[in-house]
Amino acid sequence: MSVPVLRRRRQLAKLQNISENDLLILTLTNGKKLVVTSDKYHGIISLDMYKCVLCNKEFEFNYSNKEFHKKSNKHKKLLATYPHILDPETNYCTICGVCMSSKVVKRHISTEAHKTGINKASARSFQYKPFENDTE
C-alpha cells in the first residue's frame, strides 16, 4: 500500500500526547542535532492501524505492539540503513513522517512544510539533552 506524497489518511483513533520519552535526538554527520518523535524515526505511521513503512508491516492500534515492533531484530536491521529507501521508487522522510516517490524527493525537501519541520526539530535540540545512563 503506497501513501501519496504529503498526504496521510485521517487518523481514526485519538493519539496519545507526545511525552519527552517519545522524542529522540539525532546527530547528523555535520554535527547538527535534530529532535524527532520516536515514531517518525522508526518509520511508524498512524492510519486506522499502526504501519511500519520500513518493514511494510501493519499491526493493531496498540502502544505495546508498536513498542515491541520497534525492538524487533528485523526492524533494527532495516533502521540501520539510511537514507530510508523503501524500494527503488519510494523514500521515507523522518522529519515529516511521510512516504514519497523517489522522483519528488528534491521537491519535498524544498517545501515549506519540510523546512518548518527541520526548523522545529532543530529548535527542539536546544531544549533536550542526551540521556545519561548512570550504571555505577
pLDDT of res. 38: 86
pLDDT of res. 1: 45
User: Is 61 among the domain residues?
Assistant: yes
pLDDT of res. 126: 80
User: Is 12 among the domain residues?
Assistant: no
The domain tally of the chain equals 1
> By residue range, what is the domain housing residue 39?
20-124
Question: Please, which residues have CB within 8 angstroms of residue 125's CB and are 6 or more apart in sequence?
Answer: 25, 32, 33, 34, 35
User: Is 13 among the domain residues?
Assistant: no
Q: What is the pTM of this model?
A: 0.67
Per-residue pLDDT of the chain (136 residues; tens, 9 = 90+): 444 444 444 443 344 455 545 888 888 778 888 888 888 888 888 878 899 988 889 988 888 999 999 999 999 888 887 666 677 788 888 899 888 888 898 999 999 999 999 999 988 888 766 655 554 4
pLDDT of res. 15: 40
Other beta carbons within 10 Å of 17: 6
Alpha-carbon distance 108 to 96, whole Å? 10
User: Is 83 among the domain residues?
Assistant: yes
pLDDT of res. 10: 41
User: Is 15 among the domain residues?
Assistant: no
User: Is 47 among the domain residues?
Assistant: yes
pLDDT of res. 82: 65
For 12-63, what is the HEC assignment? CCCCCCCCHHHEEEEECCCCCEEEEEHHHHHCEEECCCEEECCCCEEECCCH
